Amino acid sequence: MQKDAPVLREVALAVPIEEIKSKRIQDIIKRMRKALSKEDDGVAIAAPQIGESLRIFVVSGKVLGHPSPESETSDAQPESHLDLVFINPEIVKVSRKKVEVEEGCLSVRWLYGKVKRSEKATVSAYDEKGEKFQAGGSGLIAQIFQHEIDHLNGILFIDKAKDLEELPPDTKNDKRN
């Protein structure tokens, strides 16, 4: 979904806990994982980005460094990693210290800008099996948590960003090298 899609501006609906294991929710998670895996530069995706107004986001295992069970078999790709699913996530703690970080978004392609985010964040959520867990992190992980929960609240990073700049793939590589 691109930035003009109305679903990206809605506050996403909570997933009823008893429906987490349902075929519908599991299929949405599969679609999210598939969409995220197609984007080389994607680190996470929220359900509204695939047109579903639900409080779910997925963080790419390549960011977390979680090897998937298949990566331990000899014929799997070595870069295969287990994505982490967050259902009904809530930020339970953030650091007072904020940092200005560069951000982009799969729904606002090729636009980048600086956003002030808490340096550390802890999130409480349910996984795809319906188990409650907490995850915390600093740096990129904290940034992802805040960015994705913004998505679930109908907020795009461009609403908060300064110094927005369009950098299509060819110019982005030229500028960064």
Question: Does residue 50 contact residue 19 with C-beta atoms inside 8 Å?
Answer: no
Confidence of residue 151 (pLDDT cuts 50, 70, 90): very high
Which residues pair with residue 116 across a beta bridge?
A: 100
49-58 pLDDT, tens digit each: 999 999 999 9
Determine the straight-line distance between the first and last CA of the chain, rounded to whole angstroms: 30
Q: Are strands 132-138 and 162-166 parallel, antiparallel or unpaired?
A: unpaired
Of residues 122, 135, 123, 131, the one with CA closest to residue 17 = 131
Cβ burial of 157 (10 Å; 0-12, 13-18, 19+) is: buried
Confidence of residue 32 (pLDDT cuts 50, 70, 90): very high
Could you give all domains of the chain from N- to C-terminal order, each with its CATH number?
Answer: 6-176 (3.90.45.10)
Which residues pair with residue 100 across a beta bridge?
A: 116
- As annotated, the active-site residues are 148
Average pLDDT for residues 126-154, to the nearest whole number?
Answer: 97
Of residues 169, 62, 44, the one with CA closest to residue 109 = 169
63: Cβ contacts below 8 Å, ≥ 6 apart: 43, 44, 140, 141, 144
d(CA 118, CA 109): 24
77-95 pLDDT, tens digit each: 344 568 999 999 999 999 9
Which residues pair with residue 114 across a beta bridge?
A: 102, 162
Average of per-residue pLDDT values in the chain: 88
